[in-house]
């Protein structure tokens, strides 16, 4: 079975203590799982196995139930954001100008899907909807840098700037 790619977990004792406080505070309320997951994501930035396991053990509910919720809602992430966060606009203007193939090129180049992070923690990739630079379509951002009028063959050169 292809289990999800594993990125080393670097949670701190402070984060864990904060999570346990949140769970203890909310777990007896009806529908507690969603707010607990939201707070957990605030604390860690994402919801890896280690975090879901703590929630499962503390709330005494199956981890699959948690994982089902996490993978259902797009605002929850199983992966941390990379050192360099790549967002490719798949909004209408960028899409018709070919951002789909830019995105595909990044998927191929980085070996990850949208929403995921490379195993070395360097790049994370996500699709977004309109960064307000439609005149430059297709557009992507890497942290605060904006790249416009992109073609897939520019990707190698752009990525090589980030080390």
Partner 1 sequence: MADINLKINGMECKAPAGSTILQAAKLNNIDIPTLCYMKEINEIGACRICVVEVKGARSLVAACVYPINEGMEVLTNSPRVLNARKKTLQLILSDHNKSCLSCVRSGQCELQTLCKQYGVDNEHMYDGIVNESEIDGTAAHMIRDNSKCILCRRCVAACAKTQGIGVIGANERGFKTNIGSAFEVGLAETSCVCCGQCIAVCPTGALYEKDFVDQVVADLNDPEKYVVVQTAPAVRAGLGEEFGYPIGTNVEGKMAAALRRIGFNKVFDTNFSADLTIMEEGTEFIERVQNGGKLPLITSCSPGWIKFCEHYYPDMIDNLSSCKSPQQMFGAVTKTYFAEKMGIDPKKIVCVSVMPCTAKKFEVGRADQSAAGVPDVDYSLTTRELARLIKRYGIDFNNLPDEGFDDPLGEGSGAAVIFGATGGVMEAALRTVVFKLTGEKDGSPIEFKEVRGVEGIKEATYDVAGIKVNIAVASGLANARKVLDMVKSGEKNYHFIEIMACPGGCVNGGGQPRVPANIRNFNDIREMRAKALYSIDEANTIRFSHENESVKKLYAEYLEKPGSHKAHEILHTSYVKRTINK
Comparing CB distances to partner 1, the nearer of 56 and 141 is 56
- What whole-number distance in Å separates Cα of residue 157 and Cα of residue 138? 17
CA distance 82 to 78: 12
49 vs 162 by CB, closer to partner 1: 49
Least distance to partner 1, CB of residue 54, Å: 9
Closer Cβ to partner 1, 2 or 31, answer by number: 2
Residues engaged in binding partner 1 (CB under 8 A): 1-4, 49, 52-53, 56-57, 61-68, 71-73
CB of 161 to partner 1, least distance (A): 34
DSSP 126-160: EEES--S-GGG-S-EEETTEEE-S--GGGHHHHHT
DSSP readout, 11-70? Answer: --HHHHHHHHHHHHHHTTSTT-HHHHHHHHHHHHSS--HHHHHHHHHHHT--HHHHHHHH
Q: How far is the CB of 74 from partner 1 (least distance, A)?
A: 8
At closest approach, how far in Å is the CB of 67 from partner 1? 4
Q: Output 56 or 154, the one with its CB closest to partner 1.
A: 56
């Amino acid at each position: 079975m292809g289990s999800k790619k594993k990125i080393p977990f670097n949670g701190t004792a402070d984060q864990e203590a904060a999570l346990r406080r949140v769970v203890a505070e909310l777990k007896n309320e009806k529908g507690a799982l969603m707010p607990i997951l939201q707070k957990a994501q605030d604390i860690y930035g994402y919801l890896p196995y280690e975090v879901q396991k703590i929630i499962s053990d503390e709330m005494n509910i199956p981890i699959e139930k948690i994982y089902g919720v996490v993978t259902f809602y797009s605002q929850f992430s199983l992966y941390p954001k990379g050192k360099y966060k790549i967002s490719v606009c798949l909004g209408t203007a960028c899409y018709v100008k070919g951002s789909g193939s830019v995105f595909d090129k990044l998927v191929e180049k980085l070996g990850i899907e949208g929403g995921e992070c490379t195993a070395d923690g360097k790049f994370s990739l996500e699709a977004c909807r309109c960064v307000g630079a439609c005149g430059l379509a297709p557009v992507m951002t890497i942290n605060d840098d904006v790249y416009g009028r992109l073609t897939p063959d520019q990707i190698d050169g752009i990525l090589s700037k980030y080390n």
